[in-house]
Structure 1
Amino acid sequence: MNYSPITETVRTRICAELGSECALHAPEALAPYGRDASELCHTPELVILPKTTEQVSQLLRLANELRFPVTPRGAGTGLSGGCLTPFGGVVLSLERMDRILAIDADNLVAEVEPGVITQTLRDAAQAKGLFYPPDPAGMDKSTIGGNAATNAGGPACLKYGVTRDYVLGLEAVLPTGEVIRAGTRTRKGVVGYDLARLIVGSEGTLGIITGLTLKLIPHPKAVAGMAAVFPSMAMAMRAVSEIMRRGFLPSALEFMDHKCIGLVRDLLPFPAPEGQAAMLVIESDGAAGQVGADIEAMAAVCSELGATGILRARDQAEAGRVWAARRAVSLRIHDSAPLYMSEDIVVPLGNIAELAAELPGFEERFGLKVYAFGHAGDGNMHLNVTAPDKSHKPRAMEGARAILARVLELGGTISGEHGIGEAKMPFVPMELSPASMRLQKGIKRLFDPNLILNPGKIFEDL
């Protein structure tokens, strides 16, 4: 793909049409926009921070006319390089479009701009007795628009579903600069193809989301939680399958292997287990009289399946410390490893224990260290592949490919919620058939004939 550079003439034209106050071009201002939470780095030539949909539309019309690439960005918390600029050009950061326009308690919906922080929306909804369930790990930093672009999940998706399940409708600017409204403001709607569900999860390659209508639900009345310690991760995973098989639906069912526990030992409100132990973090929400009984019943299942310790949260503060430790795992792995690759595979529930038992073999075979944690209740395992030196990257890539091949053999998928972006592009043909890839690339070209929107993502050879 041949793109025009952002010359002084092009930058002057952009600033004249959008306003110079929304442009960043000094090297020190551009640098933060060249990274996300992955190991990748591509510094853009220009950053634009719009405040209106019209400014987004104007930029994309200019991009088509002058043939420069535009890469949308939320808070830059992604793990796959989806908001970075491998072909240079403009980063379109939506951080200034951060208004909650309405929390409608009568219709149980929220109207928001894409730059709203997820936790901010949750808090605003809770203030009206309502609940926005999706809870990605970095929800105190990630934006709703970024969550929608990657169809983010989180611990609560086991019971409540992922971001796509809460997007009733959206406003988006197409790569041509046209503005569309997709979806509805109602709970049902089947007029035409469901473009809202297509755009959600498309990683900013089909359109830039500039507004969202989100479904809210009543806030749960009570929450109870516990942690269960097992001698091994395989035993913990068998307990996960049994909890689900017996009909329980916890609001969260997370796990950490012994390596992860060691990294966050100082954050836990109780002495952390030693050796090869693994931990489940289980939470139940709902009616006040029911959650305690559910937790006790799930504790009994864990004991039956070999748990060596059941640690009940005595209050919300203690539960908060457990969740803080769980959410800190990824960052601490990243900070501790010279080479870090984040894979977020999903396997059928019945195969979780099998894959967990095979991970040490992959570590030994490829000379890697694999940290395992994540959303055990829906089979979404975050496997962080690490190596002692960046020179080991080819070996790490080989190991990651072998693990992903095994995941596919087990009937799983190579990404549950992080998206493909740039980092996982080499692995896409492992899962998608040539016919599927041909159709999807055709959709991309239909939306974006000049390939100016977020190029270099998902598919390698458009």
Structure 2
Amino acid sequence: MISYSPVTGPIIAQLQSRLSPGAIVTNPAEIEACATDASALHHRPELVVRAKTVADVQAVLALANSHRFPVIPRGGGSGLAGACLAHQGGVVLSTRDLNAIRSIDTANFTMEVEAGAISAQVREAAAAHDLFYPPDPAGMELSTIGGNAATDAGGPACVKYGTTRDYILGLEAVLPDGTLIATGVRTRKGVVGYDLTNLLVGCEGTLAVITALTLRLMPRPTATIGALCIFGSMGEAMRSVARIMAAGHLPSAIEFLDHRCLALIGELLPFSLPSGKPSLLLIELDGPAAQIAPEMDTVLALAKDEGAIHCRKAPNEQDRQQIWEVRRQVSLRIHDQAPLYIPEDVAVPLSRIAELVDVLPDYETRYGVEIFAFGHAGDGNIHLNITSQYPKERELAEAGVLALLKRVLAMGGTLSGEHGIGLAKKQFLPLELSPTSIGLQQGIKRLFDPNLILNPGKIFP
């Protein structure tokens, strides 16, 4: 453990003299809000700074590097891994006020936006110019675009469009010593030197603080339609996914809910659930309306061939929002009904989703938990929500989590599809990465941040 300086009165005075008026947060409620994110972790910072300008970010980092106190970047605070929490004290540096849409280039399909802009606002700004920003991570109304870049956030649209990384052409970022750098290009192609942009994307704020992004946009799809399909088992649902994609169809979203999730939201569905352990697929297609309407008929016919019991189309925006509300309610209801709640977001090869879901009852019995599984059927990213009505049984539940993660890795999967490692999962990193790989990554961290002041103690065990 590195010995860091406390954020003393003289340090605060220096910050006060260098920062924009109002940048230092004094409201106790706002400071307390920065002690948490969407995980169950709680770490109160010594100080919170809301950067008003890029120069504010540079000043905080330069002083931190000089005085050796930690700086923890924070976007919307919607992460599930504790990556924005000050578990070693120091200054939480919020980028929420750096939220301008700097420019939209309709001729070249690009947008320059500051890191604190809310994800949904980025998509809306593109749509206002009849352009499309595809990534759609959960919590788009809360998460910032910089936070999405820091974790390479995904979402349902990944199956067709990829993750946040795929839409970042370049970055503006501040290094741990306060130096401002620009990475990447404004063109669609560019191979000049090492790819620093992709190195910073997904680094969870451990190498630099992202202050602005140059995003790649696309023409806006002219129409989107959806559908719900109920199957008698997860195996039938997953065989349907494989059949649909093998036939050349690429949905813009294809989500699944297992039988435990359906038991929570059954009254919201437009049809009754069959007995046993049913599963649900939520499917969307986008593109020209004249093309996707008959394509959806074909997709649903394939689903019925694989055992779909009920299928219901959502041909307009109102119907689509209703079925997405079903999906959104799952996470809320799981969290509300369980005193002990451990969210994991593993990913496995598509062909092994049903296999993983099928073995969950064994882990439930062995470790005294209930496991709710839902996620992105098109890319194998499964949200496993391990819950218990007995908070005192956390140690047993965590043993179950470890056993499940080992099973996922044995199936050729990965520990995290989109939430990142942060604090919550860093102890599991050696399960997936070799000592050589971890050592190389720690060497990169020290090259960028020799004094280890930027988001210390995250990712690495």
TM-score when normalising by structure 1: 0.97
- Quote the residue 1:358 is aligned against: 359
Partner of 2:390: 389
Code of the residue aligned with 1:303 in structure 2: it is: K
Q: Distance in 1 between matches of 2:65 and 2:349?
A: 43
Partner of 1:309: 310
Higher mean displacement: 416-425 or 224-233: 224-233
Q: What displacement does 1:273 show?
A: 5.6
Residue 319 of structure 1 and its aligned partner are, at CA, apart by 1.1
CA contact (8 A) 2:271 2:310 kept: no
Could you say what secondary structure the match of 1:34 adopts? coil
Q: Within 1, Cα distance between the matches of 2:241 and 2:12?
A: 55
Alignment of 1:393-432 (within 5 A): 393-432=394-433
Question: What are the within-5 Å matches in structure 2 for residues 22-421 of structure 1?
Answer: 22-271=23-272, 275-421=276-422
Secondary structure in 1 aligned to 2:342?
strand
CA contact (8 A) 1:25 1:45 kept: no
State the 1:389 CA deviation. 2.4
Shift of 1:161: 0.6
1:48 is aligned with what amino acid?
V
Structure 1 residues 273-314: Cα deviation after superposition (integer angstroms, max 9, x where no partner): 665211000000112221112211111111111111111114
- Counterpart residue number, 1:16: 17
Tell me the secondary structure at the aligned position of residue 38 of structure 1. coil
| Partner Cα separation in structure 2 for residue 167 and residue 76 of structure 1 | 21
Deviation at 1:350, TM superposition (A): 1.2
Could you tell me how far 1:245 is from its partner in structure 2? Answer: 2.2
Distance in 2 of aligned mates of 1:436 and 1:365: 33
**C-alpha separation between the residues in 1 aligned to 2:419 and 2:371?**
18
Which residue identity does 1:330 align to in structure 2?
Answer: S
In structure 1, what is the Cα distance between the partners aligned to 2:152 and 2:340?
A: 26
Q: Specify whether residues 180 and 403 from structure 1 end up closer, same or farther in structure 2 by C-alpha distance, changes over 3 A only.
A: same
**Residues in 2 aligned to 1:450 and 1:79: alpha-carbon distance in whole angstroms:** 27
Gaps of 5+ in 1: none
Q: Which residue of 2 aligns with 1:2?
A: 3
Q: Distance in 1 between matches of 2:276 and 2:59?
A: 58
Gaps of 5+ in 2: none
Cα shift readout 1:20-76 (whole Å, capped 9, x = no counterpart):
511114533310000100010101111000121111011000001111100000000
Tell me the equivalent position of 1:450: 451
3-state SS of 1:48 partner? strand
Distance 2:208 2:297 in 1: 47
- Specify the code of the residue in structure 2 equivalent to 1:206: L
Q: Percent identity?
A: 54
**What SS class does the counterpart of residue 377 from structure 1 fall into?**
coil
More off after superposition, 64-73 vs 389-398:
389-398
For 1:234 and 1:15, locate their aligned partners in 2 and report how far apart those are by CA, in whole Å.
Answer: 60
Take 1:265 and 1:6, find their aligned partners in 2: how far apart are those partners? 51
- CA 1:203–1:440: 2 relative to 1, 3 Å: same
Of 409-418 and 348-357, the range deviating more from structure 2:
348-357
Q: Report SS of the residue matched to 2:331.
A: helix
On the 8 A contact 2:20/2:52 being kept in 1, the answer is no
What TM-score, normalized by structure 2, do the two folds share?
0.97
What SS does the corresponding residue of 2:42 show, helix, strand or coil?
A: coil
SS of residue matched to 1:248: coil
Distance 1:310 1:423, change over 3 A: same
Distance 2:274 2:13 in 1: 60
1:103 Cα deviation (Å)? Answer: 1.6
Q: CA deviation at 1:121?
A: 1.1
Q: Aligned partners of 2:71 and 2:3: how far apart in 1?
A: 14
Partner Cα distance (2:267, 2:26) in 1: 42
Q: CA deviation at 1:131?
A: 0.3
